[in-house]
């Protein structure tokens, strides 16, 4: 069974990315073109079958960052995957081919941040009404933006 100490060199070797973080929490930052490869590596070889969440962070001038956390429940370690999309960029590969649960989570990211996941089977708003304008969790969206109270 793969442990977290063995996982780090494996990531370095396959993708050329150094994993930071201490102990059973690995932190890996991958560029968008290696995002899906990292996901596939995590699921197939690191045994991280459990998808905890996929979300995004708005770093203002530096752009958006997609964050995903997956876990290997048997070995007891977690992999926090981050992908900086770059200033002004909103496209990111989708993780749905790897974990089916990414479906709703990526829809929520799209809904809240406007991140367009390429390869997502059904990208549409999930929490907000389908004709909502704007992406609320972006820092540029004011908390008191007026919106109609009823549909």
Partner 1 sequence: MDIEGRQVLEMGYAGAERLTMNMGPQHPSSHGVFRAILTLEGETVVAVDAVIGYLHRCHEKLSETLTYTQYPSIASKTDYVAAMTSELAYVRAAEMVGKIDVPKRAQYLRVIAAELQRVASHCLWLGTWCLDMGGALGGGATVFLYCIREREDVLDLFESLTGARLLYGFHQVGGTRYDIPAGWAQKCRATVDKIDGRISEFEAMLESNAFFMARTQGVGTVSRELAQEVGISGPLIRGSGVNYDIRRAEPYSSYEDFDFKVPVEMAGDCLARYRVRMVEFRESIKIVRQALDGLPEGPISSRPGVKSVGQVRIPKGEAYARVEGARGEVGCYLIADGSAKPYRMKWRGASFSNLAVLPHIIPGHKVADVVAIMGSVDPVFGEVDR
Torsion of CA 105, 123, 100, 1, to 10 degrees: -60
Q: x/- contact string, 16-55, with partner 1 (CB under 8 A)?
A: ---------------------------------xxxxx-x
Query: In which region does residue 44 sit, left (phi positive, over 0), alpha (psi from -120 to 50) or beta (all else)?
Result: alpha
* Residue of 88, 121, 146, 148 interacting with partner 1 (CB under 8 A): 121
For partner 1, which residue of 9, 31, 76, 134 counts as binding (CB under 8 A)? 76
Residue 62 as a binder of partner 1 (CB under 8 A): the answer is no
Count of positions on this chain that bind partner 1 (CB under 8 A):
35
Among 32, 57, 86, 90, binds partner 1 (CB under 8 A): 57
What is the maximum alpha-carbon separation in the chain? 54
**HEC per residue, 107-142:** HHHHHHHCCEEECCCCCCCCCCCCCCCCCCCCCCCC
| Separation between Cα atoms, residue 20 and residue 97, nearest integer Å | 26
* Residues binding partner 1 (CB under 8 A): 49-53, 55, 57-58, 67, 69, 73, 76, 80, 99-101, 103-105, 108, 112, 121-130, 136-137, 141, 143
């Amino acid at each position: 069974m793969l442990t977290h100490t063995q996982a780090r060199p494996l990531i370095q070797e396959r993708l050329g990315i150094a994993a930071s973080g201490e102990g059973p929490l690995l932190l890996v930052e991958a560029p968008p073109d290696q995002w899906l490869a990292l996901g596939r590596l995590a699921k197939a070889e690191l045994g991280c079958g459990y998808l905890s969440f996929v979300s995004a962070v708005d770093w203002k001038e530096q752009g958006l960052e997609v964050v995903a956390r997956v876990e290997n429940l048997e070995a007891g370690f977690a992999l926090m995957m981050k992908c900086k999309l770059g200033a002004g960029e909103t496209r990111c590969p989708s993780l749905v081919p790897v974990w089916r649960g990414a479906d709703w989570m990526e829809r929520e990211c799209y809904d809240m941040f406007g991140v367009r996941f390429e390869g997502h089977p059904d990208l549409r708003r999930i929490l907000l009404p389908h004709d909502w304008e704007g992406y609320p969790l972006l820092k540029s969206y004011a908390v008191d933006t007026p919106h109609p109270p009823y549909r």
